[in-house]
């Protein structure tokens, strides 16, 4: 099947990956975002780029812009890639009923997005999770921990921001928790970090990839994705999406112990970097529409965001005195941004970064916040709109 797809969140490398894949499989591809997205918009796979008003700050404008694009461009499928998925799900009733929107119901996404609610859903469907509690202050966390090694994180956060690791227990001089609503305190689990990406449709697992985030930015986002095979985790995810009758993209973070057992730490009901592990001709558009059987990547080649690997990755390797390991990792990975026949996205990504820098200065926030704050959702009430 082919048609006309509108990909949201064009700022993200996963949007670029989706755009190239849809185009290769015969789709007419357009992208839309509320901040500059030349990374994807400048791809030869993309026919047009549209500006949206920010879903978080102008819900009515966001829906109006979407409906205009859907109508004038005759869009068949809307595919979110980042946290705008939550806003899109909330406003689904304001979009044409004939439109295919690749997200599940808002209540489902909201529960999985919550680092607290996800834990009970995972347990309900047989997915192991760490012993956890909900707190609002450091004193409550100490009382729960009773001297044990713990991890503390806000109920709603992304990219590891504000996460605190206390492998030797909470120290006496630990700083009070910021007022960010509820926090989750979890038993600290030592082991290997793994990340998985999946596509499901009405409870059927139709695509699955799992990787080790070998290189990352200060315990935050990874930029090197090393594929691994974990049939037990694939089966656990299949049981999870079946039990929840899930549709759309969904991703999990895991800790794997030395004995091979694994616990799910949290869930992201959106695209993540495991998408990059699939060869370009794998029919993930079909998976999003519910067609066919399970797709899994088979190539042992790692993928990377080369510009970050060449800068932050090399700097970290030199600091750790591991340049040979860095060189070996570099040689066995392919870039996800620069590919043959599509030369403009690397330049677009640099110009996007400069735009985020200007936004950060203007808004008085960090670069990361400037790149995501317009689409974030942290549990606050959302505005309903009538089209």
pLDDT digits (tens, 9 = 90+) for 314-324: 999 999 999 99
Q: Answer yes or no: is pLDDT of 53 > 60.
A: yes
Mean pLDDT along residues 43-55: 98
pLDDT band with cut points at 50, 70 and 90 for residue 305: very high
Q: Answer yes or no: is pLDDT of 159 > 90.
A: no
Q: Answer yes or no: is pLDDT of 387 > 60.
A: no
Identify the pLDDT of residue 219.
Answer: 74
b/e code 88-102 from CB counts within 10 Å (16+ = b)? bbbbbebbeeeeebb
pLDDT band with cut points at 50, 70 and 90 for residue 258: very high
Identify the pLDDT of residue 368.
Answer: 87
Phi-psi region of 191 (alpha: psi -120 to 50; beta: other; left: phi over 0): left
Q: Which two tokens stand for residue 233?
A: 């985790």
Identify the pLDDT of residue 1.
Answer: 75
What does the mean pLDDT of the chain come to? Answer: 96
Q: What is the DSSP letter of 311?
A: I
Identify the pLDDT of residue 386.
Answer: 65
Mean pLDDT along residues 128-132: 98
Identify the pLDDT of residue 218.
Answer: 79
Identify the pLDDT of residue 86.
Answer: 98
Identify the pLDDT of residue 161.
Answer: 86
Mean pLDDT along residues 80-100: 98
Mean pLDDT along residues 307-319: 96
Identify the pLDDT of residue 272.
Answer: 97
Identify the pLDDT of residue 160.
Answer: 85
Show Cβ contacts of residue 13 under 8 Å, excluding neighbours closer than 6 positions. 39, 273, 276, 305, 336, 337
Identify the pLDDT of residue 171.
Answer: 97
Given the DSSP bridges, would you call strands 100-101 and 77-79 parallel, antiparallel or unpaired? parallel
Identify the pLDDT of residue 148.
Answer: 97
Q: Answer yes or no: is pLDDT of 220 > 80.
A: no
Given the DSSP bridges, would you call strands 77-79 and 4-8 parallel, antiparallel or unpaired? parallel
Q: Answer yes or no: is pLDDT of 330 > 90.
A: yes
Show Cβ contacts of residue 330 under 8 Å, excluding neighbours closer than 6 positions. 304, 309, 310
Q: Which residue has the tokens 């009758």?
A: 245
Q: Answer yes or no: is pLDDT of 41 > 90.
A: yes
Mean pLDDT along residues 139-160: 96
Mean pLDDT along residues 34-40: 97
270, 80 in Cβ contact below 8 A? yes
Identify the pLDDT of residue 195.
Answer: 98
pLDDT band with cut points at 50, 70 and 90 for residue 2: confident
Mean pLDDT along residues 304-327: 96
Q: How far is CA 115 from CA 70, 83, 222, 273, in A?
A: 33, 15, 20, 19
Phi-psi region of 245 (alpha: psi -120 to 50; beta: other; left: phi over 0): left
Mean pLDDT along residues 170-187: 97
Identify the pLDDT of residue 221.
Answer: 87
Mean pLDDT along residues 268-275: 98
Mean pLDDT along residues 167-181: 96
**Rounded CA Rg of the chain:** 20
């Amino acid at each position: 099947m082919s048609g006309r797809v509108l990909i949201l969140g064009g700022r993200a490398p996963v949007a670029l990956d989706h755009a190239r894949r849809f185009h290769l499989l015969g789709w007419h591809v357009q992208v839309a975002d509320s901040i500059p997205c030349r990374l994807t918009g400048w791809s030869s796979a993309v026919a047009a780029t549209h500006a949206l008003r920010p879903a978080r700050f102008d819900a009515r404008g966001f829906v109006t812009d979407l409906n205009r694009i859907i109508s004038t461009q005759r869009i068949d499928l809307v595919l979110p890639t980042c946290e705008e998925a939550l806003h899109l799900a909330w406003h689904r009733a304001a979009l044409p009923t004939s439109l295919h929107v690749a997200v599940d119901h808002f209540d489902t996404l909201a529960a999985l997005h919550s680092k607290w609610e996800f834990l009970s859903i995972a347990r309900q469907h047989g997915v192991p999770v760490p012993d956890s509690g909900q707190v609002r202050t450091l004193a409550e966390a100490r009382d729960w921990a009773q001297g044990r090694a713990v991890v503390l994180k806000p109920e709603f956060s992304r990219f590891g921001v504000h996460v605190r690791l206390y492998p030797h227990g909470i120290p006496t001089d630990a700083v009070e928790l910021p007022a960010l609503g509820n926090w989750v305190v979890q038993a600290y689990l030592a082991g290997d970090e793994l990340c998985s990406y999946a596509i499901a449709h009405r409870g059927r697992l139709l695509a699955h990839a799992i990787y080790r985030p070998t290189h990352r930015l200060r315990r935050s986002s990874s930029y090197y994705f090393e594929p691994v095979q974990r049939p037990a985790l694939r089966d656990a995810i299949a049981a999870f999406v079946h039990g929840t009758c899930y549709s759309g993209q969904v991703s999990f973070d895991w800790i794997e112990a030395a004995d091979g057992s694994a616990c799910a730490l949290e869930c992201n009901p959106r695209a993540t970097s495991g998408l990059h592990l699939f060869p370009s001709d794998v029919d993930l558009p079909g998976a999003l529409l519910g067609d066919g059987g399970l797709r899994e990547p088979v190539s042992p080649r790692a993928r990377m965001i080369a510009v970050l690997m060449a800068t932050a990755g090399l700097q970290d390797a030199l600091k750790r005195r591991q340049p040979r390991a860095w060189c070996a990792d570099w040689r066995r990975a392919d870039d996800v941004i620069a590919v043959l026949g599509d030369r403009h996205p690397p330049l677009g990504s640099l110009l996007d970064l400069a735009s985020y820098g200007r936004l950060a200065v203007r808004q008085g926030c960090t670069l990361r916040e400037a790149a995501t704050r317009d689409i974030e959702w942290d549990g606050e009430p959302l505005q309903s709109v009538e089209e």
